Amino acid sequence: DMRLAWIGWVEEATGLFKVDALAGPGGEYAAGLVVSVDPQRAESRGVGGRAVIERRTVVCADILADPGMAPWHERARRHEVRACAAVPLFR
């Protein structure tokens, strides 16, 4: 019962993720979502930022219990998103 799956890319000029495609009933969760790869920003400490920075898959089994996911706690609660994972692809 996945709420959302999305594919994005990192805009080089800003270091922010841009959503390219998404599917699932949790699509509202991704609207306006801010994820960064700039280690100075709190938005880089979640699964997406860490996956790209560390160049590895990152899984979070409980968003609300993970302090690195703090910027998204309220959004996750509101949209009933409990867990997430990021799988970075490089070319």
When the pLDDT of each residue in the chain is averaged and rounded to a whole number, the result is 93
pLDDT, tens only, 21-49? 999 887 888 888 899 999 999 999 999 99
Confidence band, pLDDT 50/70/90 cuts, at residue 12: very high
CA-wise closest residue to 44 among 75, 16, 83, 12: 16
Helix runs in 1-91, H state only: 27-30, 47-54, 73-79
Cα dihedral 75/20/45/71 (nearest 10): -20
